[in-house]
Structure 1
Amino acid sequence: MLQSLCLRSLLLLLMGRHVYTQEQCLKASVNTCGDCIKSGPGCAWCKHVNFTKTGEQEAARCDTVAVLKEKGCASTDIENPPNDFVPIANKPLNNPVQIKPQEVKLNLRPGRPHTFDFEFKRAEGYPVDLYYLMDLSYSMKDDLENVKKLGKDLLDELTKITGNARIGFGSFVDKTLLPFTDTNVDKLQRPCPDKNEPCQPAFGFQHVLSLTKNGDRFKTMVARQNISGNLDPPEGSLDAIMQAAVCENEIGWGNSSTRLLVLATDDGFHMAGDGKLAAILEPNKETCQLVNNKYSKSNVWDYPSVGQIARKLEEKNIQPIFAVTKKMETVYTELSKLIPKSAVGVLSEDSNNVVKLIMDAYKNLTSEVIVVHDTLPDFISVKYTSNCKGGEKPSDRGKCDNVKFEKVTFRVTVTAEKCIKPQSFLIGPLGFSEKLKVNVSTRCECECDDTNAPHPHCGGNGKVVCGGCRCNPGFLGQHCECKLGQKDEASLKAQCRKDNVTECEGKGDCVCGRCQCHLTEGGGNFYGEFCECDDEHCEKFDNKQCAGHGKCKCGKCECDAGYEGTACHCAKSDESCKIDGTVCHKRGKCVCNQCECERGYKGLYCKTCPTCQRPCQQSGSCVECLAFGTGPFEKNCSLSCGHLKHNTVEKLIKSDCRVKDKEGCWMSFTMTELDGFDNYLVNVLKDRECPEGPNIAAIVGGSLAAVALIGLLILLIVKALLYASDLREWRRFEKDRKHEKMSGTNPLFKDATTTVQNPTFSGDS
């Protein structure tokens, strides 16, 4: 185990060194060495007087060690204050010392964690105080009879283990107001249903016996107790637990003892807010209010909350054991999850197993070691790891199980986020009074070995402090070269205006041609060449700047490892962007648990591209070589067409693409887009559609037939026209003949215009 611990420590040390050598220096407002080391754990300062160039800001001296060396700064001139760890009290582990060290002093660089070992070993024979807190409602009648007999047995069993045990007793029922208890006068005095049975008046909580080593005394005092009663099933358990915890003097809790509080009940519990049912509005104030050993504020203060109980038990180092009936086991198991170092045991019907139950719970509690801290100063964080199984990962509390009397080691890592005043806090195992006191201060100034004399580097008008000039009154500038009231101030002030607008953005003073920035309202600095930056106005989430998972730098969030988003509000994870095992279909990035699609893709997972078309024509040559082994890519098909996967099929239900190959044949195929860009699955129809050669006989025969048909059509048309013309003339002739018969003259006959007589003609034949 020791070898494993040493190896783990070495790895952590090496990892830590790696972190610091690789860490960036995020400079803010840096004018001095002190400003630099406050900027972050990765920042160092070069104190060589000639490191900066003329006109270069002093912030150039501040950077990582690696960058400063690269710029020519010698190791001896680099100011990089480390963390300091000083053990103040470091007694060895032995009875009764159970923790080591007992007090330490830490002087931390802001942002740079420091880890040290915290050891614990349980002392044998450590005193045990057990306070038995019993529900005396009427349903616990049989249990009370058995408890009256168990005092000496329980004390004997504890003494066997520790050699030093004490036992005490208290009881409770509930508030004596409706609806919790019957407020009839007679019922308040005798709340038990059997009038012949010994019964004590209703009450909230009463302290019966302070912690004692006298088992007979316990038996005598408990024997005097009688059962009582109330109305509703839940009891005033939390009222009783609170008083048993805060009334330390009355109960008699020891300062150096294991404190056990056994709660025996067969029902649930009222909690904060239930008091309103009885018009009780004043919250529980977590103070001891015992008058004559009875809780005097039972009917005035509300029940405490579970959170109040958990906090108060942890504060008082009290470990509760809930001895409850089987039907209440689930309720108190859930309650136990909210209270560190608590246990639950199941009582038999008459509580005759209570001694065994308590001893088993005690052994379980003592075998578990939980190391926690009290309230931390602002800007201080603490993490724990351990040499126990499952304790390797940093956590807010250290935990080891199955520990007996061997030593266990916890590694405590303390980090100061900012410069703070010296403060302290306590670390220790739950259930034990011994605590480690951790005194914390911060290293926020450099310790350069400078003289107090005027220096030539500062023109004799100032002294050198960590490589930079601190000018005498009346002088300004990088080398104290400017004297107050000198001429040509206008040109110097012009150098402080960005884009010739406001001088130093209105957030600083122009001194010798350079901006000296003011403080912000939050106490930080404006910074930048023109005081344009600050670290107090970044985007918020859940009312926390950068969601508490990053740092504000110049108005933008710089997220811690594992977080992203403009406000560092998203844990880095691809799970919300995954579908079918891929992130955003490989067409975008998962940013802040959402897909940011690329190249025109849209949708929740970048599934579709409304403006994209299937590259049918562009893929034709690849389809030809993949499916048929021909085409321009025939010789380097696998190299040129690796973005396509293909299948040859007998039949296509639907053809997305139809492309001609180099022989003029039609290829039919479908393209299904796969994850990523330009990545497709192509299903190609096995048979191509190729054109057939010309049929000469058919062409010639068809041509002659066409010519003959055309000639015949022409003849028929001419014949039809002639027939129509003849028919028209015939009808006209028939019409004229009909007219002749009616008039007796032939309308077609006309007499000669001139008649010539032949004088020689006599008319004789």
Structure 2
Amino acid sequence: MTSIIGNLLPFLNYRTKPLEMVKWLLFQLVLASVLGIGLAGPSCNPTRAEATCRECINLGPTCAWCKALNFTKAGEPNSARCDSVETLKSRGCQRADIINPQNDMELQVDKPLVHSGDNVIQIKPQKVKLFLRRGSPQNIEVKFKRAEGYPVDLYYLMDLSYSMKDDLENVKKLGGQLLQALRSVTKSIKIGFGSFVDKTVLPFVNTHPEKMKNPCPDKTEACQPPFDFRHILKLTDQADTFTQEVGKQSISGNLDPPEAGLDAMMQAAVCGEAIGWRNVTRLLVYTSDDGFHFAGDGKLGAILTPNDGQCHLNKNGIYEDNTVYDYPSIAELASKLAENNIQPIFAVTTKIMPIYQELSKMIPKSAVGELKEDSSNVVQLIKDAYNNLSATVILAHKNLPDGVQISYTSHCSDGDTRSDKEGTCSNVKINTEISFTITVTAEKCLTKTESFEIRPLGFTEKLEVSVQMRCGCKCDDKPDLSSHCNNKGTVKCGVCSCTEDRIGKFCECDPGKRSTQDLDAACRKDNTSATCSNQGDCVCGACICHTNPNKKIYGQYCECDDQNCERNLGKLCAGHGKCDCGKCQCDKGFGGTACECADAKGQCAEGVNGTTCSKRGTCTCNECKCLAGYQPPYCKECPGCPSPCPIYVHCIECLGFSSGPFEKNCTKSCKNIQHRLVDDLNDQNACKEKDSKNCWMNFLMKELDGVSQYEVMIKKKAECPEPPNVIAIVAGGVAGVLLIGLLILMVWKLLTELYDRREYKKFEKEKARSKWNDADNPLFKKATTTVLNPNFNED
């Protein structure tokens, strides 16, 4: 219960809702029950028959090992040496013989918190070494005291796109004002300057040669050529130098509203030597009146290579590879800013503040301030943002080794205590001491000493932590052969380590020509089982079962016991039988898997002479458990089963009429059917199926007890159709064809006659309606000469 309440404290600190807290607590209790760890935390439960001290210690922080020579009893495995300290003591192991490594911490550098001139120490301790046991948490108490006048480096990063024209004039006058404002909170201040526009490819800038020389909308106005990021002034404490260098700058221009601000921040973060960052508080002031491009936008300009997070400034301070690498992602930029201990301050105009407020949520230790349209309030904005950032202390880790978990509990000056993945305190005043409890847990044994850092973000000081594991056992064993091991082995933490030619718990076995693997295989039931079923010792190829006060372990492979059987009402085998190797052997008069039923199988049969469950199920606890489809109480009916009539039609044909596909093998194929022939069959449930000769067979099937057992009554005579009269069919067919042909000819003749008569009448009508012209033919001339034949006699 202590461990669960300890885990509950973080939720209580956050004032968790009661319902949520109850749900979480119930989940913890169920989880503890499922895992078998109880309410006292993880239990020590070794499962290997040949456990060693190292294996035991690595099971968990509650496990200890007894190295006393004669601690284990006859038949007990070496794993019996592994248990909790309290249990080992109760079993007679002396405290001096118990191996139980504990966590430890060595303070290697622990200078006091001071602020004297240039000697500033704000965090203690500064270096620790942890000696951890797997799964055991170790606390580190860390104190932090914010010092007054901590040195500051400020790099001013300005958007020089055309929309920032008015702002540039005000920034040119900032040098003295910035230094004067920040010197009110620190005596050591340096300031630098850089600017950005956008990537110098379409569609981000106009790549026309004239526009690349002067991107201003008005050709008469002088603008400097577009660029991505340019580092102008290295960090300096000279206000005049800042004013002079910034005064030389002129505005530039691009096409789309978003700028290359993330590109500029990345280069300012990773080019530490060029920027001149000192090992002090580092501020990056970012001013703009528009949004920013991020990873993926470079594809619009055919820039496909992801940002590599490296410095690419040339000797003139220009990011010349801006057309090679894409914009960085927000996650990548946040990582680089944290890695280089840089705190960004976003000074942006009102219209785009929501964008940068969301960006600030993704970048630890950052601030957003509202910038006036002409940047006239930038000095006060930076001062306020710096004070807010300095008053917030965030403790975070870096380079945490794999397998190591860390959590933070913050004890802030306002009395608030909270737990989170980072240590956080707000409104921390100068010279006010706060503290953090850092809990480090190794979930596995590390192979070597690992190190990581814990530092307050925005400050250069850090706590170095190295971790060394305690995964072994120091038992002070002698290297000589021991009589305890029959002078054939040495003692290691109470267990015999035999020479190559001997095996056994006390090196008592001579394997002879058999290998250790052969002897081990003789103690396994099969290749998939454990040696002696993990319930005995394999001694010289034979299993010696463990003794257990709660159960009897037996069998050739110690695979049996008298307790691993089904229980009923809390009683083993319901109190009416004995447990034998996992199965209940019931007393006379009782049955069931747990002997829970009084034997009364007659209740599963219908009538005095009925069979148990009609041979279609099993009688369990005096009730029939029927086969699929059959219905209790006696498994007699099967409402959903298909009709057997079409299934056994070939059997009916061969049994009743000695024909069909099963004719030659009828007895063997149809041995589940009892049949008899009847003269007549008048039953509405009778089946009627066709045989292979297309005759109708009438039969009645009655299902007997058992599966697919039938009694059949078959009508002796099948109903076969009369054979056809071939001669009549042929004669009728020929006559029919002739008749049809004659009929067709007559119809054709009739239609032809009707058509001719109609055409003749039409001709007659047209002839009657015609009128001829009586005029003389102009080409015809009558004869004008009359010749008389002298020989002609008129008489």
Q: Which bin holds the TM-score, normalised by the shorter protein? A: 0.5 to 0.7
Q: Distance in 1 between matches of 2:284 and 2:558?
A: 61
Matching residue within 370, 390, 394 for 2:419: 394
Unmatched segments (≥5 aa) in structure 2: 1-8, 14-36, 544-555, 560-795
Matching residue within 485, 489, 496 for 1:469: 496
> Structure 1 residues 159, 62: closer, same or farther in 2, change over 3 A?
same
* 1:266 paired residue number: 289
> Structure 1 residues 433, 72: closer, same or farther in 2, change over 3 A?
same
Residue deviations 1:528-567 (CA, integer Å, cap 9, x gap): x9999xxxxxxxxxxxxxxxxxxxxxxxxxxxxxxxxxxx
- What is the identity, as a one-letter code, of the residue corresponding to 2:356? Y
Moved more, 492-501 or 36-45: 492-501
Residue deviations 1:334-388 (CA, integer Å, cap 9, x gap): 0000000000000011110100110110000000001111121111111111212
* 1:195 paired residue number: 219
Any residues of structure 2 matched to 1:25-64 within 5 Å, and which? 25-29=44-48, 31-64=51-84
Question: Is 2:310 the counterpart of 1:287?
Answer: yes
Any residues of structure 2 matched to 1:439-450 within 5 Å, and which? 439-450=466-477
On the 8 A contact 1:177/1:299 being kept in 2, the answer is yes
Q: Distance in 1 between matches of 2:421 and 2:84?
A: 30
Q: Distance in 2 between matches of 1:502 and 1:367?
A: 63
Tell me the CA shift for residue 486 of structure 1. Answer: 7.5
> Structure 1 residues 390, 407: closer, same or farther in 2, change over 3 A?
closer
> Structure 1 residues 264, 28: closer, same or farther in 2, change over 3 A?
farther
Moved more, 489-498 or 235-244: 489-498
Tell me the CA shift for residue 460 of structure 1. Answer: 2.9
Tell me the CA shift for residue 456 of structure 1. Answer: 3.2
Tell me the CA shift for residue 91 of structure 1. Answer: 1.1
* 1:81 paired residue number: 101
Residue deviations 1:514-538 (CA, integer Å, cap 9, x gap): 89xxxxxxxxxxxxx9999xxxxxx
On the 8 A contact 2:57/2:65 being kept in 1, the answer is yes
Q: Distance in 2 between matches of 1:241 and 1:502?
A: 62
> Structure 1 residues 99, 514: closer, same or farther in 2, change over 3 A?
farther
* 2:505 paired residue number: 478
On the 8 A contact 1:21/1:42 being kept in 2, the answer is no
Question: Is 2:423 the counterpart of 1:403?
Answer: no
> Structure 1 residues 511, 104: closer, same or farther in 2, change over 3 A?
farther
* 2:265 paired residue number: 241
* 2:741 paired residue number: none
Tell me the CA shift for residue 390 of structure 1. Answer: 8.5
- What is the identity, as a one-letter code, of the residue corresponding to 2:440? V
* 2:191 paired residue number: 167
Question: Is 2:274 the counterpart of 1:250?
Answer: yes
Question: Is 2:485 the counterpart of 1:451?
Answer: no
* 1:98 paired residue number: 122
- What is the identity, as a one-letter code, of the residue corresponding to 1:512? C
Percent identity over the alignment is 56
Tell me the CA shift for residue 70 of structure 1. Answer: 2.9
Any residues of structure 2 matched to 1:434-583 within 5 Å, and which? 434-485=461-512, 496-498=523-525, 504=531, 512-513=540-541
* 2:456 paired residue number: 429
Q: Distance in 2 between matches of 1:490 and 1:91?
A: 59
Q: Distance in 2 between matches of 1:468 and 1:365?
A: 60
Tell me the CA shift for residue 485 of structure 1. Answer: 0.8
On the 8 A contact 1:136/1:144 being kept in 2, the answer is yes
Q: Distance in 2 between matches of 1:244 and 1:324?
A: 18
Matching residue within 161, 169, 172 for 1:145: 169
Q: Distance in 2 between matches of 1:28 and 1:105?
A: 33
Tell me the CA shift for residue 94 of structure 1. Answer: 1.1
Q: Distance in 2 between matches of 1:140 and 1:490?
A: 82
On the 8 A contact 1:368/1:402 being kept in 2, the answer is yes
* 2:725 paired residue number: none
* 1:113 paired residue number: 137
Question: SS of the residue aligned with 1:310?
Answer: helix
Tell me the CA shift for residue 221 of structure 1. Answer: 0.8
Question: SS of the residue aligned with 1:280?
Answer: coil
Q: Distance in 2 between matches of 1:306 and 1:39?
A: 42
Q: Distance in 2 between matches of 1:226 and 1:493?
A: 86
Question: SS of the residue aligned with 1:191?
Answer: coil
Question: SS of the residue aligned with 1:162?
Answer: coil
On the 8 A contact 2:304/2:325 being kept in 1, the answer is yes
Moved more, 56-65 or 166-175: 56-65
TM-score w.r.t. the length of structure 2 is 0.60
Question: SS of the residue aligned with 2:512?
Answer: coil
Q: Distance in 2 between matches of 1:158 and 1:303?
A: 32
Aligned length: 504
Residue deviations 1:460-506 (CA, integer Å, cap 9, x gap): 32232212112234221111111231799999657521379868599
Q: Distance in 2 between matches of 1:488 and 1:270?
A: 70
Residue deviations 1:157-181 (CA, integer Å, cap 9, x gap): 1111111101010000001111111
> Structure 1 residues 259, 530: closer, same or farther in 2, change over 3 A?
farther
Q: Distance in 2 between matches of 1:490 and 1:332?
A: 68
Q: Distance in 2 between matches of 1:142 and 1:491?
A: 90
* 1:681 paired residue number: none
Q: Distance in 2 between matches of 1:370 and 1:488?
A: 62
Q: Distance in 1 between matches of 2:271 and 2:346?
A: 20
* 1:385 paired residue number: 409
On the 8 A contact 2:520/2:531 being kept in 1, the answer is no
Tell me the CA shift for residue 93 of structure 1. Answer: 1.1
Question: SS of the residue aligned with 1:87?
Answer: strand
Tell me the CA shift for residue 408 of structure 1. Answer: 1.5
Matching residue within 407, 412, 419 for 2:445: 419
On the 8 A contact 1:391/1:398 being kept in 2, the answer is no
On the 8 A contact 1:175/1:236 being kept in 2, the answer is yes
* 1:369 paired residue number: 393
On the 8 A contact 2:524/2:533 being kept in 1, the answer is no
Tell me the CA shift for residue 419 of structure 1. Answer: 1.0
On the 8 A contact 2:505/2:539 being kept in 1, the answer is no
Q: Distance in 2 between matches of 1:201 and 1:272?
A: 24
Tell me the CA shift for residue 49 of structure 1. Answer: 1.4
4+ residue stretches of structure 1 with deviation over 6 A?
18-21, 486-491, 499-503, 529-532
Q: Distance in 2 between matches of 1:137 and 1:500?
A: 76
Q: Distance in 2 between matches of 1:239 and 1:490?
A: 64
Q: Distance in 2 between matches of 1:531 and 1:409?
A: 58
Question: SS of the residue aligned with 2:325?
Answer: coil
> Structure 1 residues 135, 460: closer, same or farther in 2, change over 3 A?
same
Q: Distance in 2 between matches of 1:431 and 1:347?
A: 23
Tell me the CA shift for residue 19 of structure 1. Answer: 10
* 1:332 paired residue number: 356
> Structure 1 residues 198, 74: closer, same or farther in 2, change over 3 A?
same
- What is the identity, as a one-letter code, of the residue corresponding to 1:56? E
> Structure 1 residues 25, 272: closer, same or farther in 2, change over 3 A?
same
* 1:657 paired residue number: none
Question: Is 2:91 the counterpart of 1:68?
Answer: no
Question: Is 2:181 the counterpart of 1:157?
Answer: yes
Q: Distance in 2 between matches of 1:489 and 1:346?
A: 79
> Structure 1 residues 348, 270: closer, same or farther in 2, change over 3 A?
same
On the 8 A contact 1:116/1:412 being kept in 2, the answer is yes
Residue deviations 1:567-619 (CA, integer Å, cap 9, x gap): xxxxxxxxxxxxxxxxxxxxxxxxxxxxxxxxxxxxxxxxxxxxxxxxxxxxx
